Structure 1
Amino acid sequence: MRLQVNPHSSIPLYAQIVEQMRNQILSGIIQAGTALPSVREISEMIEVNSLTIQKALKILEVEKFIIIRRGVGAFVSENINSLNQNQKEDLLKPSLSNIVSHARELGVEQDRFQALVEECWSGQEI
């Protein structure tokens, strides 16, 4: 599992962690049934307060991405692979909406924004 947070972002740290973990689980980088590192290990790995990590994990548990077993640890839900395309898109919409709002605030035109998305999708440098 690889996580990076930007303390200068307008997005709260816990939300950055939730989004990254969601994406890694949905993309298969973190497989169903995988045990996650402990709160302390994640906290030390990305230098974030353990309460922030606990909040992120609680959100992932409520969303059914992970299962937390008291005294044992957190595991990626076995049911996560059963999400259909619409459910995955619904998970993407809030992040995408934030990006679109940010682009509008910066005055990026829609055509240029779509070109940027295409560049990112194809892996080209911007």
Structure 2
Amino acid sequence: MHFDIKPSDTLPIYRQIVEQVQRMIAGGACRPGDELPSVRALAQAHAINPMTVSKAYSLLEGEGLLERRRGVGMLVAAQVRPKRDRAQCLSLLKPATEAAAAQALQLGVDADAAVALLRQCFAEIQSRKPE
């Protein structure tokens, strides 16, 4: 499971973790029973405070997306089903898309150029995914 944590982002780190896990579950990348990295492992991998990771995991547990298993750690909750519904997935994507659109407007980039850049980024990320 890969997390893309950006300390310089305006979104707090714990929210970055929460939203990434929500998207991974909604997109089917995480399935019920999948184990998440331990608090310590995730904190060390990204040089962040373990309390930040713990806060994110606790919020996800409170939402019913994760469950804590003694001796195992945090798992995707058994009752969680990936939300393959297009509208739900798009609603999770909307905040990032709105932020990108606002930045494009501030930079004077037109919609066609911004969409072309999005397509290019999408293709680059897809090409880096392991088969």
Q: TM-score range by the shorter chain?
A: 0.7 to 0.9
* Backbone CA RMSD of aligned residues: 2.6
Q: Letter of the 1:60 partner, please give it.
A: L
1:45 partner amino acid: A
Q: Which residue of 1 aligns with 2:42?
A: 42
Gaps of 5+ in 1: none
Q: Secondary structure at the match of 1:81?
A: coil
Shift of 1:75: 0.7
Q: Is the 8 A contact 1:25 1:31 kept in 2?
A: yes
Where does residue 81 of structure 1 map in the other structure?
81
Find the counterpart in structure 1 of residue 108 from structure 2: 107
**TM-score normalised to the size of structure 1?**
0.77
TM-score relative to the length of structure 2: 0.74
Contact 1:31-1:76 at 8 Å conserved across structures: yes
Identity of aligned residues (%): 34
In structure 2, C-alpha distance between the alignment counterparts of 1:114 and 1:78, rounded to whole Å: 37
Aligned residues: 125
Flag the structure with more relative contact order, 1 or 2, with Cα contacts below 8 A and sequence separation at least 6. Answer: 2
- Rounded Cα–Cα distance in structure 2 between residues aligned with 1:82 and 1:45: 26
Could you say which residue in structure 2 is the equivalent of 1:55?
A: 55
Q: Deviations over 1:76-121 (max 9, x none)?
A: 1234434222222222212222222222222221111111122223
Higher mean displacement: 94-103 or 64-73: 64-73
SS of residue in 2 equivalent to 1:67? strand
Q: Which residue of 2 aligns with 1:23?
A: 23
Segments ≥4 residues shifted beyond 6 Å: none
